[in-house]
Amino acid sequence: MIRPLLALSVALFAGFALADTELGLAAKAGDLAKVRQLTEAGADVNATNDDDLWERTPLMQAARLGRTEVVTFLLAKGADVTKPGDATGASPLKEAAYKGHIEIVRALLAAGAKPDFNADDQGRTPLLWALIGKETNTPAVVEALLKAGANSQAVFESLDGAKVTAAEFAHRAGPEVEAAFTRNAPH
């Protein structure tokens, strides 16, 4: 009697783990139909994807790759905007900011993502990642993060102990980014 129940519970849990992995892969691919199907079947929208070296959540996968429709759907299903990946500690907002996905940055901020949440061990906030990323929408991302209250005084400390301020990164990123930073940073 116990063996059949144990086998059934293992099969059930294995199915959920597989669904979670499939959900992460579907989010990464931007396959909204598959994401919808898997969540309706009970896949956990906040599970990390074991097939991903960085153990990103489905929301992080979609945010990183600019899958706006998938991000919107996952947020509506209760995806946690503050859940960091287990391996890197990165947040969905960091992923979107670094890649310059402005619509996703705005959606995450509107859903409650904190612009300075989860700075890594070197002090890199989503704002610093946006300044480092140098993607095409960086001025808009910098503006959105600063308007949401990102710390314009953030400092990155490299492994060798060198410190670089957000203002220095903005300057290095070019005149458009520096102008967006200067215009929106509190004085």
Packing angle between helix 138-147 and helix 126-133, nearest 10 degrees? 170
pLDDT by residue (tens digit) across 53-81?
677 899 999 999 999 999 999 999 999 99
With 80 as the cut, is the pLDDT of residue 137 above it? no
Q: How large is the greatest C-alpha to C-alpha distance in the chain, in angstroms?
A: 71
- Binned at pLDDT 50, 70 and 90, residue 20 comes out as low
Torsion from C-alpha of 91, 95, 101, 105, nearest 10 degrees: 10
124 and 175 assigned to the same domain: yes
For residues 65 and 155, membership in a common domain is answered with: no
By DSSP bridging, strand 155-157 and strand 163-165 are antiparallel
Kindly state whether residues 176 and 95 are assigned to the same domain: yes
Q: Which domain range does residue 29 map to?
A: 1-88
pTM of the model: 0.85
49-58, 92-101, 169-178: segment of lowest average pLDDT: 49-58
Say if residue 15 is in the same domain as residue 80.
yes
127 and 53 both lie in a single domain? no
**Could you tell me the CATH number of the domain that includes residue 104?**
1.25.40.20
Domain total of the chain: 2
**Same domain for 103 and 169?**
yes
Residues 41, 62, single domain; the answer is yes
pLDDT in tens, 103-126: 999 999 999 999 987 667 667 889
169 & 104 share domain:
yes
Assign 10 a pLDDT band (cuts: 50, 70, 90): very low
Same structural domain for residues 34 and 115? Answer: no
Q: Which of 30, 61, 88 is the last residue of a domain?
A: 88
> Does residue 187 share a domain with residue 97?
yes
Instruction: Looking at the structure, tell me whether residues 8 and 43 fall in a common domain.
Output: yes
- Is the domain of 67 the same as that of 9? yes
